[in-house]
Amino acid sequence: MKDKVCIVTGATDGIGKMTALSLARMGATVIGIGRNPSKSAAVSEEIKQASGNSKVEFLVADLAQVGQVRQAATEFKRRYDRLHVLVNNAGGYFAKRQETAEGREMTWALNHLNYFVLTNELLDILEASSPARIVNVSSDAHQGGQLNLDDVEFRQGYGIGWQPYAHSKLANVMFTYELARRLPTGRVTANVLHPGFVASKFGHNNAGVAGVALKAISRLVAISPEKGAQTSIYLASSPEVEGVTGKYFINCKPKPSTRASYDTAAAQRLWDLTLGMVG
C-alpha cells in the first residue's frame, strides 16, 4: 500500500481503528475521520507509534450531519490530490429515535446518508486516482431489513431501533450494488461487507435495557476488533480483489446477500430518494 492514500471513517475505535492501523502498517497514507477532536488526535499518534508510519492524520467531523460530511470531503481535497481507498465504516445503533441537528433521523443519517454523500463527494478524486476502491461496512443484520421508501426515517414504528438499523444496513448493500452499476469500467470498484459481531463500543451509546443487553452479548460471543477488521482490510488492499466490484463479502469471501438487495428498481428509487434528501 505504499504511495496509496486511504480514508477510513469511524477510525477512533473498533474495526475502523484496526483497519486504519493495518493500512498504515502496510505503508499507506491514512486519513481517519472521527467526531471527537481530542480522541482523534490521540488515536492518530497511537497509530503512528504502533505502525512506524508518520503519514497518519485525522479529520474531525460529525458524519451524522450532511453539512459536516461535505466539509470533511472539501478539507480532504484541499490537502490531497489523490485517493485510492475509501472505507465507509462509521455507523451506529440507536435504541430510541432521535434526530440530528439537521433534523434527520439519526440511524438513517449516520448509517446511510453519510456513506452516500461522502462517496459521491469524493468520486471525482477516486476516479482521477484509479484504480481505486470503495469499501462499505454493512452487517448481516441487513437480512432482516425491509426497505420502506415511504418512511425511511421511521416516523412510525421505530420500536427499539433494530428494524431501522437493519433497514439502514440493507440500504448500504443496495447503495453499493447500485454504485457498482454506475461505475461500469471497474477502475473504481465498490464492495460491501459484514464484519461479524465485534467486541467494540457498538451500541454502548444506548442507556437502559438495549445498552446493557448489547454489552452482555458482546462479552459472551463477540469477536475481536482485529478479527472483525480483516474483511475491510482485505477489500482495501488485497490484489485478489483488484477489479472485483458489486459483491457482498463475509470472512474475505463473496457471499449472497438477501434477495431484496438485488432489486435494481428499488435501488434506483433509493438512490433518487437519497439524492433528493441531501441535495
pLDDT tens track for 71-120: 999 999 999 999 999 999 999 999 999 999 999 999 999 999 999 999 99
Which amino acid, one-letter code, is at 95?
A
Rg of the chain (C-alpha set): 17
pLDDT < 70 positions in the chain: 198-222
Eight-state DSSP code of residue 199: S
Q: How many domains are there within the chain?
A: 1
Domain range enclosing 67: 5-278
All cell numbers assigned to 93: 445503533
For cell 492518530, what's the residue?
A: 44
Q: Is the pTM of this model over 0.75?
A: yes
- Output the domain CATH number for residue 246: 3.40.50.720
Active site members: 165
